[in-house]
Structure 1
Amino acid sequence: MDGTLVDTEPYWMAAETPLIESFGGTWSHEQALQLVGMGLEDSSRILQDAGVRMQVHEIIDHLTSDVMGRLAEDGILFRPGARELLAELRAAGIKTALVTMSMRRMAQTVVDLIDFDAFDVVVAGDDVTRPKPFPDPYLQACALLGVEAADCVAIEDSPNGLRSALASGASSIGVPLMVSLAGVGAHAIWPTLEGRTVADVAEFHAARTRRGAQ
C-alpha cells in the first residue's frame, strides 16, 4: 500500500522525526529510509533504540494516527498508474488483495477513500504473526482469495515487501520509490505503473511461468 498504491511514505517519515525529537533524539532521512516496507513492530523497536521512551504499541498507535490525520486532511495521492491499473484489473474480474504492514484501521481508511470496490481481501500488519519479509502476509492473502501463490502477481516498492512476495512463490514486480530494489531478486523491475495494463501483467506472469517450467 504505502509507496506502491499510494504515496504515504513521506507522511510516515514526517511523523517519525518529531516523535524522536520530542525525546531529545535525532533522525536522519537515511535512517527513515531503513524503515520503508518494514513491519511496524520492528520499526517501533528501532525508534525505541533512537530514544523514543514509549511502548511498541504506543508508538504504532501514535504514528498510525498521525498518518491517518494527514490522509484525512490532504486526501489520498495515488502512485502514477496505480489506480488505473487496479481499476482495469477489477473490471477484468481479476481477484485483488491489498497486503500491507500498516495497521488495519489505516489500510481500511485508504481503501474507503478509493472510489470503487478495489479489493477482495485486505491483509494488514495486525492480521499476521510474522510480518514482511516473511512470506506469511502474502500466503494469508492467497488463502483468503482461494488461490495458489504461483498463480499470483505481487507488486512491491520496498526490499522487505519484495522478499516477502518472492518467498511466498508469487511472481513479483518491483516498482521502486524511496529505496533501490537492485539485488533483491525481483522477477521484473518496472520504473513506474503509469501506462501499464492488465495485458502487461498477464504477459509478465505468462513469461515468468514459462521460464519457471524450463
Structure 2
Amino acid sequence: MTVKELVWDMDGTLLDTTPVVPAALARAVRALGGPGVDADDIVAEYWRGTPEVIMEHLVGRPLMVTETEVYYRELEGAEGAPYPGVVDVFAALRAQGRALAVFTGASSRAAGMLLRSAGLHVDVLIGGDHVSRPKPAPDGVLLAAKELGIDPVDIAYVGDSPLDLRAAVGAGSRGAAAAWGHLYDQAERADVVLSGSSAGT
C-alpha cells in the first residue's frame, strides 16, 4: 500500500493546545452553571466529540446555541502552538504539491480558529461536526479521503491518540502514531511510530 496523502489530527499532533483548549472549556462549563473541572477532567472527555457535546455532558443539560457561544468567546484569541517541526513539514508538503488535510474531533469552527492562530493553512478541514460518529469511528478519515478524491487505503492518518489510530484501522488507512503528542500510548498498535519531540523526526 502506497501512501499518497497524509491526514492529520490537530490537538496533540499539529498543535499543543493543552494550555488553552481545556482551560477555555472549563471556564465555559463554569459560566454555564456546571461543576468546577480541571484540564484532566476535560481531556478525559475528548472522546465524546465536539466541544458542544463535551459541554452538554459536563453541564448536565442540553445547551442552546447561544450558550455554546460561551466557549468560542473563551477561545477567541487563544493560541495553540505548533509542535516543533510542524511548520517545516507543512511547507515541505506544500512544496511537493501535496494536500494539507486535517480531521479533528474538535468542531470545525474551533479548529479553524486554532489553526489560523498558529499560522497553519489547510486545504481540507474535517471537524467533529462534519461526522455523525466521533473517533474511533472511521467516518472522518473516510470523509477526508472523499474530499481528497483518493481511496482511504492510500491515506496515512497521523494522530497521537489511540482513538486516532483505531479510526485509521476502521477506514482501511495506515495509522501513524505521533509519539510527541500528549495522548500517545505506545501500547496502541500503529503502522508506523513517528518518534521524537517534533513532527519532523
Aligned to 1:186: 190
User: Going by fraction, where is helix more abundant, 1 or 2?
Assistant: 1
Is contact 2:138–2:171 with CA below 8 Å preserved after alignment? yes
Correspondence for 1:55: 63
4+ runs of 1 displaced by more than 4 Å? 56-60, 113-116
SS at match of 1:183: coil
Which secondary structure does the structure 2 equivalent of 1:89 belong to? helix
**Matched residue of 2:157: which SS?**
strand
Q: Which has the higher contact order (CA 8 A, sep 6+)?
A: 2
| Residues 1:7 and 2:16 are matched in the alignment | yes
Contact 1:2 1:8 (8 Å CA) reproduced: yes
Q: In the alignment, what sits opposite 1:155?
A: 158
Pair 1:120 & 2:131 matched: no
Matches within 5 A, 1:15-164: 15-22=24-31, 23=33, 25-36=35-46, 38-40=48-50, 41-49=52-60, 53=61, 55=63, 57=65, 60-71=68-79, 76-113=80-117, 115=119, 118-164=121-167
Report the Cα offset of residue 126 of structure 1: 1.9
Q: 2:178 aligns with which of 161, 167, 175?
A: 175
Q: Secondary structure at the match of 1:69?
A: coil
| Bigger fraction of residues in strand | 2
Partner of 1:211: none
Could you say if the C-alpha distance between residues 195 and 189 of structure 1 is closer, same or farther in structure 2, counting changes exceeding 3 Å?
A: closer
Consecutive unaligned residues of structure 2, counting only runs of 5 or more, are 1-9
Count residues in correspondence: 189
CA RMSD across the alignment: 2.7
Q: What is the aligned-residue identity percentage?
A: 28
Q: Which moved more, 1:177-186 or 1:5-14?
A: 177-186
> 2 CA distance for matches of 1:84 and 1:7?
16
- Shift of the 113–44 alpha-carbon distance from structure 1 to 2, 3 Å rule, reads closer
CA distance in 1, matches of 2:82, 2:161: 16
**Which amino acid in structure 2 is aligned with residue 25 of structure 1?**
P
Match in the other structure for 2:3: none
Larger Rg: 1
